[in-house]
């Protein structure tokens, strides 16, 4: 065996919500051969598998009864304007590296936590740019047919914070590397008001200025998971039909709206805030005081150490129920939920 198997591994330091959970078995994957061997071992033992990147978009509901595979497949190569990176590479460091190479296109996606291999799972996006616009293909191991496969961006079924890896291929495809198409000509994407405002003094911003502006806004607005454990946005922004939007707008004239390919996108933060949840705390879990879609697992105060995935999911369910009752809008969870109850 070339894989090192550990037992009863503490996952709390490996998820940004700092939820307490243990893995029955755990292994770190540094080569595709180790991946294949670890998957085969779990198959023989009939154990469930959890593919783990940086743990910044998962909710661990409880202990994981199978094998956790921590993806540490490294490597970055550029070939003209294309770059191919191992799934275990840190996303933010990749953004910095591309800029240092004079390759542009990822500036708006700076400072997103996690790994390159997880980026396609929810088609990461920020400030008007989505991974789907830059992705050429992913390579990975298909558990459906036990073989290495390459999927084109079109095969990935990308949608808003969504992909085939969250649906048909959930837990059935392990991404080992991704290939991106970047450019040597910088083409700024500046239609988000916060970004435009941050660059107002800069009439022709270059890529480094845009990256610095996004980084600055994010640092000023978003809670640092080290201080306040969180998984970023806990709810996706819902997309509703124009009819439903018009009905809602008649009752709530200040309801913000953004056009989306298949309807009207509503900011989940506005819906949660108007349902009275912003800043509310239920013991060890709560809603951030400034960011209404960021749920926090508090590690301080009298209830420190009492929070878990169940408490967090109960809070999320209460928010979803209130938003549905008030606005007749279904809020979907953004992170994926893993582990036994
Ligand atoms: P993990 O949390 O480890 O895994 C997420 C899911 O992907 C799991 O289901 C896991 O099984 C699966 N997975 C992971 N790696 C692989 C692989 N190699 N192959 C197959 N499946 C895999 N997201 C955005 O889109 N935009 C943002 O601006 C943004 N900002 C954030 C800010 C903060 C403070 C935080 C905490 C999160 C933010 N996120 C954002 C969410 C998160 O960072 C991204 O979704 C990120 O891509 C998750 O990467 P990860 O490696 O941590 O994935
Ligand atoms: P913001 O800039 O205050 O905007 C609030 C919401 O309005 C966002 O959800 C954004 O949608 C939407 N929006 C604003 N301007 C828009 C435009 N011109 N066109 C379409 N939609 C627009 O948001 P924020 O909370 O500070 O976050 C900034 C960016 O970082 C957003 O893109 C957000 O998605 C991303 N982010 C994501 C996470 C995560 O975990 N997923 C965490 C932190 C930040 P979108 O969310 O669709 O962009």
pLDDT digits (tens, 9 = 90+) for 9-43: 999 999 999 999 999 999 999 999 999 999 999 99
- Tell which one of 12, 36, 121 to mutate to probe ligand 1, the residue whose CB is within 8 A of the most ligand atoms: 121
Tell me how far the alpha carbon of residue 281 is from its chain's centroid. Answer: 23
The number of the ligand 2 atom at minimal distance from the alpha carbon of 161 is 41
State in Å: Cα 54 to ligand 1 middle: 7
Assessment of whether the complete model's pTM goes beyond 0.95: yes
Long-range contacts of 251-259 (CB under 8 A, 24+ apart): 252/327
The pLDDT tens digits for 236-250 are 999 999 999 999 999
Q: Quick one: CA torsion of 187, 191, 193, 198, rounded to 10 degrees?
A: 10
Cβ contacts of 313 within 8 Å, gap of 6 or more = 59, 61, 337
With cut-offs at 50, 70 and 90, classify the pLDDT of residue 341: low
Instruction: Quote the pLDDT of residue 303.
Output: 73
The answer, yes or no, to whether residue 191 has pLDDT greater than 80, is yes
User: How distant, in Å, are the alpha carbons of 152, 203, 208, 245, 269 from that of 197?
Assistant: 36, 11, 16, 28, 20
Does the annotation count 148 as an active-site position?
A: no
Mean pLDDT of the chain: 96
Higher pLDDT, 202 or 284: 284
pLDDT band at 328 (very low <50, low <70, confident <90, very high): very high
Tell me, using a 6 A CB cutoff, whether residue 129 lines ligand 2.
Answer: no
More confident residue, 2 or 24: 24
Record the tokens describing residue 173, joined without a space: 């495809």
Q: Using the Cα atoms of residue 10, residue 15, residue 20 and residue 23 in order, give the sign of their dihedral.
A: negative
Q: Order of strands, edge to edge, in the sheet holding 49-52?
A: 6-10, 22-29, 64-71, 49-52
Q: How far is the CA of 127 from the centre of ligand 2 (A)?
A: 6
Give the whole-angstrom CA distance, residue 216 versus residue 210. Answer: 10
From the candidates 56, 161, 177, 275, which is the catalytic residue? 161
Longest distance between any two alpha carbons in the chain, whole Å: 65
Instruction: Return the closest-CA partner of residue 22 out of 37, 34, 9, 3.
Output: 9
Residues 105-119: tens digit of each pLDDT: 999 999 999 999 999
| β partners of residue 148 | 141
Q: Is 161 a catalytic residue?
A: yes
Question: CA 76, CA 92: separation in Å to the nearest integer?
Answer: 13
Distances (CA, A) of 205 to 130, 248, 319: 20, 38, 40
CA 335 remoteness from chain centre: 7
- Indicate if the pLDDT at residue 294 is higher than 70: yes
Tell me the mean pLDDT in the region 256-279: 96
Out of 63-77, 149-163, 196-210, 219-233, pick the least confident: 196-210
């Amino acid at each position: 065996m070339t894989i090192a198997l550990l037992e009863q591994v503490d996952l709390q330091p490996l998820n940004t919500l700092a939820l307490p959970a243990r893995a029955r078995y755990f292994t770190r994957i540094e080569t595709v051969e180790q991946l294949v061997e670890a998957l085969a071992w779990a198959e023989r033992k009939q154990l469930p598998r959890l593919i783990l990147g940086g743990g910044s978009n998962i909710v661990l509901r409880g202990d994981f009864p199978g094998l956790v595979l921590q993806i540490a497949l490294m490597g970055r190569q550029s070939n003209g304007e294309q770059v191919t990176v191992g799934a275990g590479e840190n996303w933010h460091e990749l953004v910095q590296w591309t800029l240092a190479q004079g390759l542009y296109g990822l500036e708006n996606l700076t400072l997103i936590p996690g790994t390159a291999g997880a980026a396609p799972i929810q088609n990461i996006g920020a400030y008007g740019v989505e991974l789907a616009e830059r992705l050429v293909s992913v390579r990975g191991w298909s558990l459906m047919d036990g073989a290495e496969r390459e999927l084109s961006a079109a095969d990935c079924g990308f949608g808003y914070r969504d992909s085939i890896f969250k649906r048909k291929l959930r837990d059935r495809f392990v991404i080992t590397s991704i290939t991106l198409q970047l450019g040597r000509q910088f083409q700024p994407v500046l239609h988000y008001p916060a970004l435009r405002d941050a660059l107002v003094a800069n009439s022709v911003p270059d890529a480094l200025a845009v990256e610095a502006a996004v980084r600055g806004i994010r640092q000023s607005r978003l809670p640092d998971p080290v201080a306040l454990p969180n998984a970023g946005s806990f709810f996706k922004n819902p997309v509703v039909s124009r009819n439903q939007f018009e009905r809602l707008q008649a009752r709530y004239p200040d309801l913000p709206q953004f056009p989306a390919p298949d309807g009207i996108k509503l900011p989940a933060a506005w819906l949660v805030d108007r349902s009275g949840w912003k800043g509310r705390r239920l013991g060890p879990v709560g809603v951030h005081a400034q960011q209404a879609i960021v749920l926090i697992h508090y590690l301080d105060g009298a209830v420190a150490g009492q929070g878990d995935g169940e408490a967090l999911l109960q809070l999320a369910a209460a928010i979803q129920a209130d938003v549905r009752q008030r606005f007749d809008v279904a809020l979907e969870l953004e992170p994926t939920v893993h582990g036994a109850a």
